[in-house]
Amino acid sequence: MNQRTPVRLPLALWAGVTALLLVAPTLVVIPLSFTERRSFSFPIEGWSLQWYERFFTDPRWYGALGTSIAVAIGAALVATVAGTLAAIALDRARLRYGWLIRALLLLPVVVPQIVAAVAIFGTYLGWGISGTPLGLLLAHIVLAIPFVVIPVSTALQSFDPTLERAAAVLGAGGWGRFWQVQLPLISPGVITGFVFAFVTSLDEVVIAYFLQTPTLRSLPVQMYSSVTVETDPTIAVASSLMLVFSTIVILLPRFFAARRRRLLKAKETP
Amino acid sequence: MHTSARWSALLLAPAVLLVAICFVVPIGSIVLRSFTEPELGLATYERLFADPTTLRVLGRTLLVALGAVGLCLLFGYPYAYLMTLVGPDMRAVLMVLVLVPFWTSLMARTFAWVSLLQRDGPVSALLAFAGVPGVTLLGTAAGVMIGMVQILLPYMVLTLSTTLSRIDRGLLTAAQSLGANRYRTFFQVYLPLSLPGVFAGSALVFILALGFYITPQLLGSPRESLIAQVIGVRVERLVDFAGAGGLSLIVLLTTALCLAAAVLAFRPVRAMLGQGGDRR
Amino acid sequence: MSKTNQSPGAPAATLQQTGRSVRLSGLSKHYGDFAAVDGIDMDIRAGELLTLLGASGSGKTTTLSMIAGFTTPTEGTVLIDGEEITRVPPHKRNLGMVFQHYSLFPHMNVRTNVEFPLKQRGVPKAERRRRAMEALEVVELAHRAQARVTELSGGQQQRIALARALVFSPSVLLMDEPFGALDRALREKMQMEVRRIHRELGVTVVFVTHDQQEALTLSDRIAVFERGRIEQVGTPEDLYERPASLHVATFLGESNLLPGTVDGGVFVTRSGSRLSAGSAENGPATLVVRPEHVRVQPATGTGAGIAATVGEVVYLGADKRLVAVTADGEITARIAAAEGYRPGDDVRLGWEPGAAAVFPG
């Protein structure tokens, strides 16, 4: 290792403040979710699980959770298949307008959410799919495609093309090469893409807000209206669950990676 | 391997058709409506610009977005810089601290700010303790800014840390061996090398800030609305798709301009620093 | 060394076969105006080990790639045992191939890598496993069948790649600079291994290399490539003793080059020495003679040959290497270790008329 620049105290302190700013504010939702009163106010005087009970018994809440999960799974599956195929085509064929197609596929991340939302609302209204599960699903698929294309393209860049030649000369046809060699080797990128797509759909508020009907509400939209229309501490429960979920998503792969490293180390020094 | 044009067209078709039909067509059609409704022409734009609030909202939105960029840099740069100095374990911890909020539901985080900034909430109490009693930030521009910066900060840190981690620290040692002191080394060597990341992160935060809807809607007030809220109101309350399309075009053009500037700024800076060939 | 179930060297019976012949006729590959391969004709005999030898960019790799089916020829045909396969996709050609960087599948272990080609051919699982283990025994790595490929050394990986290329008894084995990434000692060991396997299994091998020593060591025959064409095809001895061009003469082994002119069957060096030119045509020419054919004699009397002064004598054990300075430059000779020439001695250099070759230019 080359010598390390010493970390000066002011820098460390400022970074500590930043870390606190990043993480601490969101944590406030956890105590709020156990409050006894029907308000968001502090300090919390009595504790109860009533809002958790409500979350899992009130059809508006667990229904919204079900809608969100169903749409997120559907959108992530379709976006992962479509995005992976597109990334493969863009990687292999040196298409003259490949950059243009790539730019098109990445467009949904660049366009400001509010513009996408009102545009999609206006058009889907005309097509009669606003307020339907299909409309929400289509919007979320499109929004999630860039989040698949990016990690799969990265995985493809580190894929050694001579492996495909080797597979071909050893007798594997197009399908065999794809299923037995290429897909297993880019699968980390595909899985990452699926997770990105799933979380993107699960968290999306603005489009879902414009496409909602009283019967079709995703969880974030239900949360939104529980702040604006009524003061319902069940939102704190939903927020806490979301926070726990995202923490698991972040920590799980790191946990497995650390365990694999430990196992490898143990294998080397029996 | 040889992939025929027909095969690649087939592989591209689902994604391209989905994005084109379900995304590009809606955007195109709402922008088109701003030129065709109620009749062909620029009437919508005349109407929008005749209304003094349009320009005021636009100006306010740009200011808020710029402010968010500035504050994100103020917090994000030192943090990303620290990430390059510490050991791998500490770096992983710092990274998780960025990624958890990054992946946490926007709605959950905005709600957290609603409860923190509310009347007699924890932030008010903290301010009162510091000697500034009776302040409620919920429903003010300051409140919007605080929430936005906290929500956008991970984007800035992630973009910056990618660039900063690639800077060769040997260059700094070299500069110091040539007699530059710590501050000169930082401002004349390190900072210029990090500019591509600064540009990219700033462009990203700026674009996201322009389109922010939920956070200002919940943390701000209708009297100080941003362009995203005005677009929302046009569609939701006034059913004025033409007006919303016109404002959308303005936001889209600003975004495109900003992206183009970031791309252009990237190239000369990169070429100048000879960092170009990192693609294979 | 590793222990294997069979005695070392005993070939696995199922892997033994009769190799097939390959015929390339009028084969060309153009990229725009550039001809990577420019109309080559060649017969590769059944069961032989033929090396495509040349510098990088000479067309040898493109030729191999056209045999494998990765590259479609602009013109010409590829035939295996008389059957045309020019446009047959690689996976239907039934060829084995070993790549420079092993190209083992990193997500499979050693045995599943070797089973891969059998799986593509629909061989049942038990049979697949048995044959994979046999192939691994041929390369003496059966004991590493369960290992991850990334745990193996470069030499072991290349032996696995060899087993994988042989396990399905391909009609022809293609090897693309397979030992380029290995160090010298390992490379020589692997060359011996390839010779042994080739002899035992009887497979036809087409071997690409830029290393002339490797080509001489391994080959039944060598095809020397230069600028997309084949300069000469022949046994190592043919090429070494009877090179067809100046390029072949200098590419293989060590040579002395003397510039001069041919005039009526006589080669005249720049300084005016007159030597036999055989049947070479009149005009500017270069005379090529191998060091071991140069005879060194004391400079007594006025016999035929070139007058020279001994510059350097290096003792090499079996023989000595003597560098003589002449009016036409330095000439290297190999002499018996017993000869007692010292630097500064005046000598006379000569050779049998048939031992030197004269090429125009």
Q: Which residue has the higher pLDDT, C353 or B90?
A: B90
Q: Are residues C277 and C306 in the same domain?
A: yes
Which residue in the set A11, A119, A228 is minimally distant from B82, CB to CB? A11
Q: Are residues C223 and C322 in the same domain?
A: no
Q: Which of C62, C78, C107, C128 to mutate to test the interface with A (most CBs of A within 10 A)?
A: C107
Q: Is the dihedral of CA C280, C282, C285, C287 positive or negative?
A: positive
Q: Which of A158, A159, A170 to mutate to test the interface with C (most CBs of C within 10 A)?
A: A170
All partners of chain C with 3 or more CB pairs under 8 angstroms:
A
Does the structure show a pLDDT above 50 at C211? yes
Contacts of B243 (CB under 8 A, 6+ apart): B34, B44, B47, B48, B234
Does the structure show a pLDDT above 60 at C4? no
* A182/A204 Cα distance (integer angstroms): 32
Average pLDDT over chain A, rounded to whole?
86
Q: Are residues C291 and C237 in the same domain?
A: no
Angle, helices B227-236/A113-127, rounded to nearest 10 degrees:
10
pLDDT tier at C2 (50, 70, 90 boundaries)?
A: very low
List the strands of the sheet with C319-326, edge to edge: C295-298, C346-350, C306-315, C319-326, C329-336
Which residue in the set B103, B114, B245 is minimally distant from A246, CB to CB? B103
Average pLDDT over chain C, rounded to whole?
87
Instruction: Give pLDDT tens digits for B214-266.
Output: 889 888 888 888 888 888 888 888 778 888 888 899 899 988 888 888 777 66
Whether residue C80 is contained in a domain is answered as yes
Three-state secondary-structure class, residue B228:
helix
Does the structure show a pLDDT above 50 at C309? yes
Domain that holds residue C283: 255-360
* C257/C356 Cα distance (integer angstroms): 10
- Residue C301's pLDDT is 61
Q: Are residues C226 and C279 in the same domain?
A: no
* B44/B47 Cα distance (integer angstroms): 5
Q: Are residues C77 and C177 in the same domain?
A: yes
- Residue A167's pLDDT is 93
* B159/B206 Cα distance (integer angstroms): 13
Report chain A residues whose CB lies below 8 A from the CB of B244: 118, 122
- Residue C232's pLDDT is 92
- Residue C22's pLDDT is 92
Report chain C residues whose CB lies below 8 A from the CB of A163: 103, 105
A-C contacts (CB, under 8 Å): 65
The full 3-state SS of chain A, as one line of letters, equals CCCCCCCCHHHHHHHHHHHHHHHHHHHCHHHHHCECCCCCCCCCCCECCHHHHHHHHCHHHHHHHHHHHHHHHHHHHHHHHHHHHHHHHHHHCCCCCHHHHHHHHHHHHHCCHHHHHHHHHHHHHHHCCCCCHHHHHHHHHHHHHHHHHHHHHHHHHCCCHHHHHHHHHCCCCHHHHHHHHHHHHHHHHHHHHHHHHHHHHHHCCHHHHHHCCCCCCCHHHHHHHHHHCCCCCHHHHHHHHHHHHHHHHHHHHHHHHHHHHHHHHHHHCC
* B147/B164 Cα distance (integer angstroms): 26
Sequence letter at residue C55 = A
How buried is C153 (Cβ within 10 angstroms: 0-12 exposed, 13-18 middle, 19+ buried)?
A: exposed
The whole-number average pLDDT for the span B135-161 is: 88
- Residue B249's pLDDT is 92
The whole-number average pLDDT for the span C205-223 is: 92
pLDDT tier at B153 (50, 70, 90 boundaries)?
A: very high
Q: Are residues C262 and C344 in the same domain?
A: yes
Q: Which of B32, B91, B111 to mutate to test the interface with A (most CBs of A within 10 A)?
A: B111
Q: Residue C269's domain is classified under what CATH number?
A: 2.40.50.140
- Residue C302's pLDDT is 63
- Residue A160, by phi and psi: left (phi above 0), alpha (psi -120 to 50) or beta? beta
Average pLDDT over chain B, rounded to whole?
83
Report chain A residues whose CB lies below 8 A from the CB of C96: 169-170
Whether residue C198 is contained in a domain is answered as yes
All partners of chain B with 3 or more CB pairs under 8 angstroms:
A
- Residue A6's pLDDT is 65
Q: Which of C193, C216, C241 is the last residue before a domain boundary?
A: C241
> How many alpha carbons lie under 13 Å from residue B244 in its C-beta half-sphere?
28
For C202, other C-beta atoms within 10 Å of its C-beta total 15
Instruction: Give pLDDT tens digits for A18-36.
Output: 998 888 888 888 888 887 7
Report chain A residues whose CB lies below 8 A from the CB of B236: 210
A-B contacts (CB, under 8 Å): 275
pLDDT tier at C6 (50, 70, 90 boundaries)?
A: very low
- On whether the CB atoms of residues C35 and C28 are closer than 8 A, the answer is yes
* A45/A41 Cα distance (integer angstroms): 10
Percent of chain A predicted with pLDDT > 90: 28
The whole-number average pLDDT for the span C109-118 is: 93
Question: For chain C, what is the domain count?
Answer: 2
Nearest-Cα distance to chain A for B71, in Å, is 11
Q: Are residues C234 and C348 in the same domain?
A: no
pLDDT tier at B126 (50, 70, 90 boundaries)?
A: confident
* B73/C185 Cα distance (integer angstroms): 57
Q: Which has the closest alpha carbon to A23: B94, B139, B64, B214?
A: B94
Highest mean pLDDT among A49-53, B20-24, C259-263: B20-24
Instruction: Give the residue carrying structure tokens 């065709």.
Output: B36
- Residue A234's pLDDT is 86
Whether residue C356 is contained in a domain is answered as yes
- On whether the CB atoms of residues A117 and A209 are closer than 8 A, the answer is yes
Query: Which tokens hold the place of C135?
Result: 């192939």
Q: Which has the closest alpha carbon to C294: C309, C303, C305, C278?
A: C305
Beta partners for residue C224, in sequence order? C53, C232
Shortest CA distance from C174: residue in chain A? A169
Q: Are residues C343 and C261 in the same domain?
A: yes
CA angle, corner A176, sides to A172 and A180, nearest 5? Answer: 110
Q: Which has the closest alpha carbon to B279: B264, B266, B262?
A: B266
Shortest CA distance from B154: residue in chain A? A22
Alpha helices in chain C (DSSP H): 60-68, 110-120, 125-138, 154-166, 184-201, 212-218, 236-241, 246-251
> How many alpha carbons lie under 13 Å from residue B232 in its C-beta half-sphere?
21
- Residue A85's pLDDT is 93
Report chain A residues whose CB lies below 8 A from the CB of C165: 170
Instruction: Give pLDDT tens digits for B58-107.
Output: 888 899 999 999 999 999 999 999 988 888 888 888 998 998 888 888 88
Torsion of CA A231, A232, A233, A234, to 10 degrees: -160
Query: Which tokens hold the place of C64?
Result: 């191999």
CA angle, corner B46, sides to B41 and B50, nearest 5? Answer: 170
Q: Which has the closest alpha carbon to C200: C161, C155, C221, C169?
A: C169
Q: What ipTM does the predicted assembly reach?
A: 0.85
Does the structure show a pLDDT above 70 at C42? yes
Q: Are residues C81 and C187 in the same domain?
A: yes
Q: Which of B1, B23, B62 to mutate to test the interface with A (most CBs of A within 10 A)?
A: B23
Q: Which has the closest alpha carbon to C98: C38, C7, C29, C164?
A: C164
* A211/A119 Cα distance (integer angstroms): 11
pLDDT tier at C225 (50, 70, 90 boundaries)?
A: very high
The whole-number average pLDDT for the span C160-173 is: 90
Shortest CA distance from C95: residue in chain A? A169
Question: Residues in chain C whose beta carbon is closer than 8 A to a beta carbon of chain A?
Answer: 68-70, 89-91, 93-97, 99, 101, 103, 105-107, 116-117, 119-121, 164-165, 168, 174
Instruction: Give pLDDT tens digits for C63-99.
Output: 999 999 999 999 999 999 889 999 899 999 999 999 9
Three-state secondary-structure class, residue C267:
strand
- Domains of chain B with bracketed CATH: 53-273 (1.10.3720.10)
Whether residue C135 is contained in a domain is answered as no
- Residue C1's pLDDT is 39
Query: Taking the CA atoms of chain C, what radius of gyration do you get in angstroms?
Result: 25
* B69/B252 Cα distance (integer angstroms): 18
* C89/A177 Cα distance (integer angstroms): 13
* CA separation, residue C316 to residues A149, C313, C336 (Å): 63, 10, 10
Whether residue C7 is contained in a domain is answered as no
* C84/C77 Cα distance (integer angstroms): 7
- Residue C19's pLDDT is 77
Q: Are residues C288 and C224 in the same domain?
A: no
Nearest-Cα distance to chain A for C168, in Å, is 9
Q: Which of A3, A14, A22 to mutate to test the interface with B (most CBs of B within 10 A)?
A: A22
Q: Which of C188, C208, C241 is the last residue before a domain boundary?
A: C241
Instruction: Give pLDDT tens digits for B29-51.
Output: 989 888 887 778 787 788 888 88
* CA separation, residue B211 to residues B25, B50, C94 (Å): 19, 23, 58
- Residue A136's pLDDT is 93
pLDDT tier at B280 (50, 70, 90 boundaries)?
A: very low
Contact A7 B82 (CB under 8 A): yes
DSSP per-residue codes, C34-91: EEEEEEEEEEEPTT-EEEEE--TTSSHHHHHHHHHTSS--SEEEEEETTEE-TTS-GG
Instruction: Inform me whether the C-beta atom of residue B107 falls under 8 Å from chain A C-beta atoms.
Output: yes
> pTM for the whole thing?
0.82
Contact B15 A165 (CB under 8 A): no
> How many alpha carbons lie under 13 Å from residue B210 in its C-beta half-sphere?
26
Whether residue C106 is contained in a domain is answered as no
Query: Which tokens hold the place of A13?
Result: 């302190």
Does the structure show a pLDDT above 70 at C142? yes
- On whether the CB atoms of residues C206 and C176 are closer than 8 A, the answer is no
Does the structure show a pLDDT above 60 at A4? no
- Residue C77's pLDDT is 93
Query: Taking the CA atoms of chain B, what radius of gyration do you get in angstroms?
Result: 23
Which residue in the set A162, A172, A180 is minimally distant from C99, CB to CB? A162
- Residue B72's pLDDT is 94
The whole-number average pLDDT for the span C53-67 is: 91
- Residue A268's pLDDT is 57
Whether residue C75 is contained in a domain is answered as yes
- Domains of chain A with bracketed CATH: 57-268 (1.10.3720.10)
Q: Are residues C83 and C180 in the same domain?
A: yes
Q: Which has the closest alpha carbon to C315: C293, C298, C338, C332?
A: C338
- Residue C61's pLDDT is 92
Q: Residue C54's domain is classified under what CATH number?
A: 3.40.50.300
Whether residue C117 is contained in a domain is answered as no
**Most distant pair of Cα atoms in chain B: their distance:** 72
Instruction: Give pLDDT tens digits for A63-90.
Output: 889 999 999 999 999 999 999 999 998 8
- On whether the CB atoms of residues C8 and C21 are closer than 8 A, the answer is no
Beta partners for residue C53, in sequence order? C209, C224
Q: Which of C192, C215, C241 is the last residue before a domain boundary?
A: C241
- Residue A247's pLDDT is 86
Q: Are residues C28 and C88 in the same domain?
A: yes
Nearest-Cα distance to chain C for A88, in Å, is 19
Contact B78 A21 (CB under 8 A): no
Nearest-Cα distance to chain C for A266, in Å, is 15
